[in-house]
Structure 1
């Protein structure tokens, strides 16, 4: 069987992810944990963990980190609502309080 050309790379099952899965993964990629993601989306942390478990199953990966890495390099577009004051909306500063 011939090897497919480089531009033919089978896409992972990203199309099967729900919008909620995408939202959770996108917020996790910004550094938020289950509690912060839950607050941002109006969900319990346990429900967020369930969304991660299902997303990992669909993507064929074992961990949340693998799922985030896979979706980050594949450029999923998810409607994200980061909570005010989260790490994603607050500029980083050093210990002295300066950027």
Structure 2
């Protein structure tokens, strides 16, 4: 959950973007548990201090950068879903250059 959801029970499109970033991370790790090493009671402090889940092994830098943008502390600093869609479509088209 996004930090504002944990702290203030505020849910919005921006908190959904945070969750989407975590979902991308889960897909890249083939379903690993995010933040497995963090005590749930310390999660808020962990996130407030700027810690985030690490880049998955074999994850393209471009894709991890997108995930990291989703985890911006301030909700207004996170991308909108329309921006994510455009970025992911461009990323998918660029994959053709590597395959």
Q: Same fold (TM over 0.5)?
A: no
> Which of the pair is proportionally richer in helix?
2
What is the TM-score normalised by the length of structure 2?
Answer: 0.27
